[in-house]
Structure 1
């Protein structure tokens, strides 16, 4: 199992929900954090909370619906000289629930793909090559299990694009010490998931983070976080490494 103490992880959408859970857990494990939010002020609470674990933090802002802001964020991270070892592409947007899905506006697809897929692809393209050069890297792309709901077509299609991108890219990394995998948090009570979701947001731990800790040089897998709820990190990693 990977020891993440002293490594640097970039967590997108870290100010709340699943990103908040990821940040807190990784901090407890001694991992330094680059925390992303739409606005820096949104990150004040999580940034202060994780510092009690004795880690370093750096905060960045970017509106992921604007690809130029993603590039600017990446330029800023690069300018710090921080080497990103672990990437959690967690930020996501569910633009609307269209009861009359036959009239879904094209704008739903445009913004969903920019936030949920294109931003993640841009970050992967920038950060994975340096990981390869250094001989270590872990990438976790957060996806969704939503299916058979055309009411959420734009959201689910953008996540399906992320799935395909991840699995295709994994073919170039499989067998190396740079690994890329998918994690599905399940339907959780977050701002995105809503109050009627069956799972508390805390249930994503440890399943949502195990892609950062596995060490079997296998990429392209999907880890359903709810299948690991209640396990210790060590138990979760062992279970994950048995998955094909």
Structure 2
């Protein structure tokens, strides 16, 4: 692959060791788009999910799209139940440990939320634990397993942890979800600092990628300026990783969608109490709308 693009620096120059990317939660929404767009850039892709039939469908899509290229990509499916307590990496661990695989990009994309905006006391113990496990424990274990392999890859590598604007705007009826997204943010920033703290700084770039509302498995359309499609959001996320004029390495936290970035700046500029009031009003309105529609 010789074409220049935002992630070119993470691709191996050794044709005998092609670069691989791992995407968790890759069977729909943003995860599907991460896998599809990374494959289009020439990365071989490890796609994770818990349903083999859905993974096979995604694999067929990705390999079919690259079949006519000069270098068709390879896709491997990985099954693991991210919401088990404790989470099990399953086939992900086997793939990461494969000595023949040059792992250059990991996208900790997987995440779930409460679709019906329940009170905390309405959430079952099992569902609360599964959300914490899937949103926080699972990406932690993936990063822990992948980082040594990425450091040993012999060149720049990229670890993306997907958080949410909910990390700054704790939402009523989404208390567990908001808490896990705050964890994603601080976990990722800590890892970023960790990579820069040793006497010989790591070549692994750690980025917390922050979406607002995106049309995906969690949210329905139609698309608006504040709610882009998964395709458009991931495209902007990848573009945001391009080297800048002062540094080839991305910063620790990126809000790639312009309207989301402006919303976050507005939220951070106001007093906490006012921000909380705006968040409450927005989420209560969305909850009432969803419950009135019977969704």
| TM-score for both structures, normalised by structure 2 | 0.69
Q: What residue ranges of structure 2 are gaps of 5+ in the alignment? A: 1-5, 12-17, 67-71, 261-295
Q: 1:109 and 1:214 mapped to 2: Cα distance?
A: 39
Residue 46 (structure 1) aligned with residue 73 (structure 2)? no
Q: Which residue of 1 aligns with 2:193?
A: 171
Residue 81 (structure 1) aligned with residue 82 (structure 2)? no
The alignment yields a C-alpha RMSD, in angstroms, of 2.7
Query: Which whole-Å deviations, capped at 9, do the CAs of 1:38-81 have from their partners, x for residues lacking one?
Result: 11211122211211321011111111012452155313442473
Conservation of the 8 A alpha-carbon contact between 1:36 and 1:59 = yes
Conservation of the 8 A alpha-carbon contact between 1:85 and 1:138 = yes
* 1:1-244 map, 5 Å: 1-3=6-8, 4=10, 6-51=18-63, 52-53=65-66, 54-66=72-84, 67-79=86-98, 81-101=100-120, 103-135=122-154, 136-146=156-166, 147-174=169-196, 176-195=202-221, 198-210=227-239, 214=243, 216=247, 218=249, 221-227=252-258
Conservation of the 8 A alpha-carbon contact between 1:137 and 1:178 = yes
Conservation of the 8 A alpha-carbon contact between 2:240 and 2:256 = no
Q: CA deviation at 1:221?
A: 2.0
Conservation of the 8 A alpha-carbon contact between 1:186 and 1:225 = no
Query: Which whole-Å deviations, capped at 9, do the CAs of 1:3-50 have from their partners, x for residues lacking one?
Result: 255310000111110011111111111111001111121112221121
Which has more radius of gyration? 2
Of stretches 54-63 and 190-199 in structure 1, the one that deviates more from structure 2 is: 190-199
Q: What residue ranges of structure 1 are gaps of 5+ in the alignment? A: 230-244
Q: Which residue of 1 aligns with 2:284?
A: none
